[in-house]
C-alpha cells in the first residue's frame, strides 16, 4: 500500500480518555475510533492485524478437526428460553422485535444453534465427535464497558462447539483444544497463564481461562512455581493448595475460555444420538471462545515502548515500510518504487511512505504503528544504496538488491 492512498489516521497527542496503554496506542496509531460507549470503528491497520490473528486461529481449528460455519446474529427468544439463557444472560443481551412482534436477542454466544445443527445432522455415535466453529460478531450490553476494545459491547469472537458420545471423548477433545489454544496464543506472541476458572453463565463441569499478563489487567491471578495457577477470586488466601507455598500475584486479561459443558444444553434441547447398542443417549458438549480484539489489545499491552507499538514481526500490519526522504527527488522515488515492487512480488506486506512529510514525522509514524523494518531511501538512491533499519535498531547501509534477503 502507498501511505498517501491508505488510511492510517495517527494522532500527535497521547489520548487521555483511557488509562490502558494498549487502548491509548490503538487510538494514537489510528487502529480504532470510538464512536459510542463500547462501540468502535476498526480501521485498516487493525483489520490487517485481526486477519493475522484469525488466520492463526483458523489453522489451529483445522488441526483440531473443527469445521468453519457462520451462525445467525439473531436468536429467537424461545430458543434461548429453552436453555434458560434468556433469563441467565438477562440484561447483558441486546434484544429486539421483528414486524410480527417476535422477539430476538443479538447473539451473546451460540450454543443453541450449534445444538440445532448437531440435532439435524448428527444421528449416530459414528458421527461423533463433531466440532464446529465461527468467527463472528458478538454483542453484550456490558454493565461497564471499559478498557476500550478489551471490553466492548460489540466484539469479534471465535466460538467453537464440540459434541461427544461420552465424557472420555469430551476430556480428550478438551485437551486437544487446550493445546490448540496454547499454540494460538504462543504464535500471537503472548505471555499467558492458564488458570482453572468458574464456568459462570455457560454452566458445566470444568473450565479454564487463558490469561494474558498485563500490568493493568482486569483480573488478579495467583501463580505458583509448581505449575498451579488460579483466578484469586476462587481463593480465600494467597497460598498454593498443592504445595503450600505463597502464590505470586499477577494481573492479566482473559483472552480465551474453554468449557466442559456436559449435558447442560443437550439435556435442555433433548439432543440425542444412537449408540452401538441402538440406544438413544444425550450428547456431551464442550465450548471454546477467544476474543479477537482482546488478543490484539493484549499483544499491544505486552509489546510497546515509548515510541509506540512494537508488534512481533508476524503480527504487524505491515512487515516493511519504505520511507522516501525527499518525494521530489526522482532517483529516490524510482528506487523506492523498485524496492516496493520487489517486496510485493515476494509477498512481503509493504507500506510505501510516499507522503510529502518530514522524514522525522514518517519515521515516528512507522515506529508508532509498529512496523518491524524500515527501508529509508535518501541521498544515495542514485547509487542504489538505501538504509535498512530494524524498528529501533541500528541504521545499516544496504544495496537495494539485498533488502528482500534481509527481511526474510
Max Cα separation, the chain? Answer: 81
Please, what's the b/e burial string for 118-144 (b: 16 or more CB within 10 A of its CB; e: otherwise)?
bbeebeebeebbbbbbbbbebbbbeee
d(CA 26, CA 86): 35
Q: Name the residue number minimizing CB distance to ligand ATP.
A: 291
Residue 28 C-beta: closest distance to ligand ATP, Å: 20
Residue with Cβ nearer ligand ATP (83 or 109):
109
Residue among 112 and 293 whose Cβ is closer to ligand ATP: 293
Judged by beta carbon, residue 254 or residue 365, the one nearer ligand ATP is 254
- Beta carbon of residue 140, minimum distance to ligand ATP (angstroms, whole number): 5
CA–CA gap between residue 132 and residue 161 (Å, rounded)? 5
DSSP code of residue 50? H
| Least separation in angstroms between CB 91 and ligand ATP | 14
Which backbone phi and psi does 253 adopt, to 5 degrees?
Answer: -120, 140
What sign does the CA torsion over 27, 136, 178, 236 have?
A: positive
What's 372's DSSP letter? S
Nearer to ligand ATP, 158 or 164 (CB): 158
Q: How far is the CB of 236 from ligand ATP (least distance, A)?
A: 21
Q: Work out how close the CB of 19 gets to ligand ATP at its nearest, in angstroms, rounded to a whole number.
A: 17
Round to whole Å and give the CA distance between 333 and 257.
49
Torsion of CA 354, 360, 361, 367, to 10 degrees: 90
**Least distance (Å) between residue 159 CB and ligand ATP:** 7
Q: Return the closest-CA partner of residue 383 out of 396, 373, 397.
A: 397
Of 222, 215, 181, 236, nearest to 301 by C-alpha is: 215
The nearer residue to ligand ATP, 289 or 372, going by C-beta atoms, is 289
User: Which spans of this chain sit near ligand ATP (rule: CB under 6 A)?
Assistant: 109, 140, 142, 151-152, 155, 157, 200, 254-257, 289-291, 293-294
Nearer to ligand ATP among residue 155 and residue 318 (C-beta): 155
Contacts of 55 (CB under 8 A, 6+ apart): none
* Least Å from the CB of residue 151 to ligand ATP: 4
| Smallest distance, ligand ATP to C-beta of residue 82, A | 19
| Backbone angle region of 326, left / alpha / beta, with phi > 0 → left and psi within -120 to 50 → alpha | beta
Amino acid at each position: 500500500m502507498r501511505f498517501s492512498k491508505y488510511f492510517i489516521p495517527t494522532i500527535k497527542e497521547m489520548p487521555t480518555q483511557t488509562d490502558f496503554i494498549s487502548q491509548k496506542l490503538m487510538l494514537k496509531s489510528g487502529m480504532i475510533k470510538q464512536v459510542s460507549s463500547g462501540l468502535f470503528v476498526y480501521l485498516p491497520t487493525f483489520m490487517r492485524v485481526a486477519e493475522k490473528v484469525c488466520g492463526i486461529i483458523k489453522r489451529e481449528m483445522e488441526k483440531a478437526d473443527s469445521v468453519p460455519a457462520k451462525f445467525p446474529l439473531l436468536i429467537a427468544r424461545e430458543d434461548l428460553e429453552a436453555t434458560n439463557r434468556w433469563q441467565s444472560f438477562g440484561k447483558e443481551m441486546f434484544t429486539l422485535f421483528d414486524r410480527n412482534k417476535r422477539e430476538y436477542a443479538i447473539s451473546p454466544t451460540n450454543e443453541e444453534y450449534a445444538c440445532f445443527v448437531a440435532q439435524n445432522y448428527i444421528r449416530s455415535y459414528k458421527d461423533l465427535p463433531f466440532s464446529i466453529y465461527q468467527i463472528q460478531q458478538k454483542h453484550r450490553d456490558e454493565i461497564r464497558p471499559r478498557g476500550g476494545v478489551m471490553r466492548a459491547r460489540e466484539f469479534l469472537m471465535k466460538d467453537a462447539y464440540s459434541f461427544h458420545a461420552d465424557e472420555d471423548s469430551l476430556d480428550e477433545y478438551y485437551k486437544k483444544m487446550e493445546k490448540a489454544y496454547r499454540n494460538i496464543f504462543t504464535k500471537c506472541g503472548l505471555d499467558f497463564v492458564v488458570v482453572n476458572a468458574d464456568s459462570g453463565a455457560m454452566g458445566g463441569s470444568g473450565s479454564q481461562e487463558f490469561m494474558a499478563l498485563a500490568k493493568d489487567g482486569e483480573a488478579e491471578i495467583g501463580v505458583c512455581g509448581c505449575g498451579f495457577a488460579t483466578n484469586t477470586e476462587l481463593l480465600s488466601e494467597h497460598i498454593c493448595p498443592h504445595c503450600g507455598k505463597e502464590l505470586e500475584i499477577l494481573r492479566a486479561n482473559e483472552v480465551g475460555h474453554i468449557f466442559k459443558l456436559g449435558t447442560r444444553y443437550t439435556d435442555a434441547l433433548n439432543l440425542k444420538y444412537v449408540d452401538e447398542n441402538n440406544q438413544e443417549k444425550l450428547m456431551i458438549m464442550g465450548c471454546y471462545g477467544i476474543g479477537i480484539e482482546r488478543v490484539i489489545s493484549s499483544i499491544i499491552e505486552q509489546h510497546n515502548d515509548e515510541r509506540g507499538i512494537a508488534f512481533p514481526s508476524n503480527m504487524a500490519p505491515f512487515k516493511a515500510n519504505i520511507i522516501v526522504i525527499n518525494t521530489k527527488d526522482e532517483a529516490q522515488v524510482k528506487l523506492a518504487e523498485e524496492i516496493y515492487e520487489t517486496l510485493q512480488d515476494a509477498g512481503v506486506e509493504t507500506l510505501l511512505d510516499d507522503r510529502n512529510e518530514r522524514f522525522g514525522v514518517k519515521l515516528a509514524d512507522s515506529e508508532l504503528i509498529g512496523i518491524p523494518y524500515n527501508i529509508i531511501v535518501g541521498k544515495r538512491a542514485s547509487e542504489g544504496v538505501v538504509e535498512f533499519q530494524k524498528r529501533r535498531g541500528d541504521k545499516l547501509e544496504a544495496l537495494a538488491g539485498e533488502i528482500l534477503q534481509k527481511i526474510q
